[in-house]
Chains A and B, each alone.
Chain A
Amino acid sequence: MPKIPIGDAVNSFINFLKEDLSWVFDGISGVLDNAISALESFLDFIPPIALIFLLCFIILLVTTKGITIWSFVGLLLIYDLELWSELIRILVLVLVAVILALIISIPVGIWMTRSKTVERITFPILDFMQTMPSFVYLVPAAMLFGIGPVPGLLATLVFAIPPPVRLTYLGITQVPGDLKEAARAFGASDRQVLTKVELPLSLPSIMAGVNQCIMLGISMVVIASMIGAPGLGRVVLTAVNRLDMAMGFEGGLAIVILAMILDRFSRKMGEYEKIFERFGKIKQKLKGVVH
């Protein structure tokens, strides 16, 4: 039996993209590169200690006192290990990747609940994205976008998009039918059914998706350091190459700390009503100080 030339087809497709559509990829690469560097330089500009306090204030708004204290200790430790600038690099990459992933995945998840066709097409694509070994698309990504943070970012996207898509879809399909029916019976439009009933009720599921997106983003950014993604991942990669166990452990520990903070933070983000309440309290206190 003759071998079907799938591999050759992929090869020529990548070559086609590289040679004839390079302006597209250069454009994307340029925009993302600039966004990343701008964010990095902004965070670099703030003195580390001030940034730690600022981050801990935000963490306090969203989470509990206990989590805030441990986050403070963890961030100080990373600063002490002289990994602060690497932390900022990985943080920026993860944040940009997560924001892009959510902008894409949540609407796709909603769309799947609206159209059988989209649902049927999307599921196999999600399977593909989640199970295809990442090294397979790391190389073409580097070929198309060049070495640096951008291909790492895009490889991260591939990995981080599926969970929020699935969990958004799951959350919305689990909203009881009679509630949607009741909303429509009282004159709600399709958009109102979505915003007033389906999204609020599927929020826990969607937030679990956001959490998964962040965690997978962190793990992928580390792998993406092999094609030039900067940050803590690169520290670990360098340490592995040099068989430097001390450096490897320090870098790895910093990643764990970051991952734990982001995990706790994103878990609490769903309780937005409490957050608004706390914010309101602080606002009132500040008013009291001014008067």
Chain B
Amino acid sequence: MAKIVVQNLTKIYGDEPRKALELLRDGYSKEEILTRTGQTVAVGGISFEVKEGETFILMGLSGSGKSTVIRCINRLLEPTTGSICVDGKRVEEMDKRELRAFRGQKIGMVFQQFALFPHRTVLDNVAFGLETKGVPKGERYERSEEILVRVGLAGWKAKRPDELSGGMKQRVGLARALAVDPDILLMDEPFSALDPLIRNEMQEELLSLQQRIKKTIIFVTHDLGEGLKLGDRMAIMRDGRIDQTGTGKEIFSHPANDYVAKFVQKVDVTRMLTAEEIMIQPGEILNLLEGPQLAIRKMELCDTDYIFVIGRDRKLKGIVWVKDALKLAEKGEKGIQGILKQADTVHPTTSIEDIYLRMGRTGRSLAVVDGGGNFMGAVTARSILSLLAEGRKGP
């Protein structure tokens, strides 16, 4: 079920939003509306749904309205029109008290420039959300310390934010958001202000954290690579509208329009692929019961020095090298059990980067094997090379 449903959300800055809305309905662009009415359309009628436990990416360049959307969800900004439903409750209809409770219990927010309170210690920063709810001191400190341990800042609770590095600051920001144990995390370009190494580290940590805590996350970013890495689905925004919503692969393989195509073009396609998608079916495979003579012939046929061996049940049994097979054939033996070696295997979902690493080390082809041990295909040096050649051409 959808956790968050946003329907036809608009946000217009200016004193006469009505005029702008009319023009918007008639299909005028952001620039035209600005010159005609002086109203700025930050978000021009967008709809999307976020599922429970999913990481949803709002992607777009600066000025595309993505930060405005995220702020409309907890009404830090008042939406001009449209509806926002969280767990079936209309956020835009909440009164002050309901809204405060909603923000304090359901939502944790992480900001681009950290927005830590400089006059408070790390611990008091993390405890802020609990403090506003009136949780007693002992309880809120206990809970905050637990969270600090989880983000790896156990020894830093008495420090002030200005004593921390950028990465640590954002860990505090994340801890502050998690301290109230919200269902939803709103993350507004949380890692953009960090340097690349730290950014990467934080992304990995968010991924592993998310596997455990399973929050519903709306993550704003302008970095497509980051979006693809962290997100389950994403919406590409431009000029206050959503051009396309879908998984990274969907958007990449079927861009809705030229803008999206151009936007995703910049990304290194290959980084998204997995073993399953680049594996090939080897020309020949050897059955466990077949002999060395046949093995040698099959290897000659497909011009390789090895052959994968499978059993009757299609399960991978191992690999046979041509030099071993030749020796065996000279001796006149019939079975290949004696020369069967352990094959290098990968899981179908193994990322291309891991494959690069493994193949780079051994130079050998990899057998793709699913969880049940079934042989699915092979990743060879040739398949990698052809992939790189394709990547050059672009999508």
Contact = CB atoms under 8 A, between A and B. Distances in A.
Q: Do A and B come from one complex?
A: yes
Interface of A: 176, 178-179, 181-189, 192, 196-197, 200-201
A241 to B, nearest CB: 51
Contacts of A197: 117
B103 A187 contact: yes
Interface stretch (B20-28, B79-87, B125-133, B372-380): B125-133
Contacts of B117: 179, 182-183, 196-197, 201
B111 A178 contact: yes
Nearest to B77: A181
Given A181-B76, A192-B132, A196-B131, A186 B103 contact: yes
Given A178-B115, A179-B115, A197-B117, A185 B132 contact: no
B104 A187 contact: yes
Contacts of B105: 187
Nearest to B129: A186
B44 to A, nearest CB: 23
Contact of A184 (B76, B116, B118, B133): B76
Contacts of B76: 181, 184-185
A123 to B, nearest CB: 23
Contacts of B115: 176, 178-179, 181-182
B217 to A, nearest CB: 15
A149 to B, nearest CB: 39
B66 interface: no
A178 B190 CA distance: 13
B100 to A, nearest CB: 5
Contacts of A184: 76, 103
Given A178-B111, A181-B76, A182-B109, A187 B119 contact: no
Contacts of B111: 178, 181-182
A201 B180 CA distance: 24
Interface of B: 71, 74, 76, 100-101, 103-105, 107-109, 111, 113, 115-119, 128-129, 131-133, 176, 180, 186
A283 to B, nearest CB: 21
Given A182-B115, A188-B100, 5 more contacts: A183-B117, A185-B107, A186-B103, A186-B132, A201-B117
Nearest to A189: B100
A176 to B, nearest CB: 8
B103 A183 contact: no
Contact of A187 (B71, B116, B133, B186): B133
Contacts of A178: 111, 113, 115
Main secondary structure of the interface of A (DSSP, over half): helix
B128 A186 contact: yes
B109 A185 contact: yes
A178 B132 CA distance: 17
Main secondary structure of the interface of B (DSSP, over half): mixed
A187 B118 contact: no
A200 B128 CA distance: 14
Contacts of A187: 100-101, 103-105, 129, 132-133, 180
A101 B109 CA distance: 40
7 contacts: A176-B115, A182-B109, A182-B111, A183-B117, A185-B109, A186-B103, A196-B128
Q: With a 10 A CB-CB cut-off, give which of A178, A181, A184, A186 has the most chain B CB atoms.
A: A186
A189 B96 CA distance: 9
Contacts of A183: 117, 128, 132
A178 B116 CA distance: 9
Contact of A186 (B113, B118, B119, B176): B176
A195 to B, nearest CB: 11
A21 B104 CA distance: 52
Contact of B180 (A179, A186, A192): A186
Contacts of A201: 117-119
B132 A200 contact: no
Nearest to B107: A185
A189 B74 CA distance: 14
Contacts of B118: 201
A176 B111 CA distance: 13
Nearest to B179: A186
B200 to A, nearest CB: 25
A178 B119 CA distance: 15
B98 to A, nearest CB: 11
A7 to B, nearest CB: 42
B262 to A, nearest CB: 32
A127 B100 CA distance: 39
A277 to B, nearest CB: 14
Contacts of A192: 132
Nearest to B176: A186
Contacts of B108: 186
A184 B103 CA distance: 8
A190 to B, nearest CB: 9
Contacts of B180: 186-187
Contacts of A186: 103-104, 108-109, 128-129, 132, 176, 180
B143 to A, nearest CB: 14
